[in-house]
Amino acid sequence: MTNAEIARVFDEIGDLLEIQGANSFRVRAYRNASRTLEGLSEPVSDLASEGVPALTELPGIGKDIASKIVDLLQTGSIPQLEELRDQVPPGVVQMLRIPGIGPKKVGAIFSELNVTTLEDLKAAAETGQIAEMKGFGKKTAQTILEGLEQIAAAGNRFYLAEVKPAAEEIVTDLKSLKSVTEAELAGSARRRKETCGDLDLLVTSTDSKAVMDRLASHDHVEKVLARGDTKQRVRLKIGIELDLRVVPEESYGAAMQYFTGSKEHNIAIRQRAQKRGLKLNEYGLYRDDELVASQTESAIYKAVDLPWIPPELRENRGEIEAAEEGTVPDLIEVQHIKADLHMHTTATDGTASIREMAEAAKARGLKYIAITDHSKRVTMANGLDSDRLRKHWEEIRTVAESLSGIKVLCGIECDILEDAELDLPDDVLSEADWVIAVLHYGLKQPREQIMKRLLNAVRNPNVCAIGHPSGRIIGRRPGADINYTDLFKAAADEGVMMEINSHPSRLDLNEIQAASAKDYGIPIVINTDAHSTSGFDVLEYGVYQARRAGLEKKDVANTLPLSKFRRLLRTSS
């Protein structure tokens, strides 16, 4: 089982216990364990093989939970989870998908009304039964009905790259209103997560009606789902829903901090506030009834003795400790990137020529690139065999000589075959300026074989980097089963770089793996994998991933000028 799969088991236990009204400390223990497991770069199964004591060294993992992890890995189940599933019907668990309805409310509906399906839930909301429950009311009943509609209509997440352009157009349009002083995305989009379930937009304005009217009539908006005095929910034509909140200017910083999240980060910040005799909510930071800070995020963080923390880091993965120690990383920016070292041309499955790709890269301010068309294994992309590749490189060199202002390297995206051999012979690869080795096929092979393939590639003296290491396609295809500890140790020893592939469906390495690679001292390269001149536009998403990993300019090899970059290559003399 993967770390994510194990983490989901403990999340489910936490949900089921909370539905049943279990002790909050007990519930929190399972949620903390889930978060710890999901954030690990090394496989939990490796630690479990060393026994319970090894697992208890992890934060938030006690003997009881450690024993459950071992049982889960050995038997595929946990008796406690099976008992909880028997006690809580599946339809009740499905209610947790409704936005704004947490386990406590779900538990109350289940225990008081004996509602066990989404259909029964809808009937209870429509007939007024839910509105009559203590602590619920008509508003909650309406929220449930709207949430049920959302589940039916949506049920999926969107790549950040799919929704960001439309969302930013809306922000720009709202900022043009005279009554608006601030407008910015919050939530997961501001934290630059790979995918978004919905969008959050905060606006300060002296005329909330004008803001909502403008949003309702925007070209990107398909339908207004709900509207109040200061809140509005709309569905965009691309399918995602957006929540607008118009907040007072004096509360903007507190609201932005609150609605940016993540939930785990915010809990930690609120706990810091409480220890200082303060109370933090979306309206401000208070000491009793006195407002201490609210207008800017910086003021909020300063009041709890922290510097401002970049949104991309706000996941409670050590950023608060780093802020305490004054070691918050100076995160990489898009403008720091000087090169793109993974792209394709018409020689294989690209749509632009060598010259067109080079000129497009130059127009974006890049100083050097590597043309890395596919090797022969990728037959559907017209992959290159040895003879075609050498002719292709001759053409690259000819084009490069006629260009000024940009250097063009002869590269190859070489497949690591299912039998662990590379797709091209060493005598050919040794002629390349840049070799990026990848997994395209056989991603479901057992870990042992996957690792044999990756480690063989890392140890090949001609390989410069491992590209999109897991081979995942977000939301559609899981990645290969990789022991990243062993991979990164080998890469660090051999001087092989690791790629963050910027394509929005890949973003591979993910942020946890990229942070781990940094810890091993492995240089990262952020590449677009462009198949057209417009393909360079996705670079920002790779940089966002790097920022979420805490990477600085110095951690990314293609921020260097070419002369210094060449010194990092183990094939350089």
pLDDT tens by residue, 345-400: 999 998 889 999 999 999 999 999 999 999 999 988 899 999 999 999 999 999 99
Question: Of 39-43, 46-50, 510-514, where does mean pLDDT reach its minimum?
Answer: 39-43
pLDDT tens by residue, 81-92: 889 888 988 888
pLDDT tens by residue, 177-224: 999 999 999 999 999 999 999 999 999 999 999 999 999 999 899 899
Q: Which band of pLDDT confidence, cut at 50, 70 and 90, is reported for residue 152?
A: low
Report which listed range, 16-20, 93-97, 234-238, 512-516, is most confident: 512-516
* pLDDT exceeds cutoff 60 at 572: no
pLDDT tens by residue, 225-276: 999 999 999 999 888 999 999 999 999 999 999 999 999 999 999 999 999 9
- Return the pLDDT at 150: 65
Residue range 322-331: average pLDDT? 97
Model-wide pTM > 0.75: yes
Residue range 269-286: average pLDDT? 95
3-state SS of 76-87? CCCHHHHHHHHH
Tokens of 269: 């910040």
Q: How far is it, in rounded angstroms, from Cα 96 to Cα 90?
A: 11
Domains delineated in the chain: 3-153 (1.10.150.110), 158-247 (3.30.460.10), 251-325 (3.30.210.10), 334-568 (3.20.20.140)
Contact between residue 293 and residue 303 where contact means Cβ atoms under 8 Å apart: yes
- Return the pLDDT at 154: 43
Strand ranges in 158-240 using DSSP code E only, listed in sequence order? 158-159, 180-186, 195-196, 199-205, 221-227, 231-236
Residue range 309-324: average pLDDT? 97
Q: Please give the backbone phi and psi of residue 425, each rounded to the nearest 5 degrees, phi first.
A: -70, 155
pLDDT tens by residue, 153-169: 545 688 999 899 999 99
Q: Which band of pLDDT confidence, cut at 50, 70 and 90, is reported for residue 1?
A: low
More confident residue, 312 or 92: 312
pLDDT tens by residue, 460-473: 999 999 999 999 98
* Among 202, 186, 185, CA closest to 248: 202
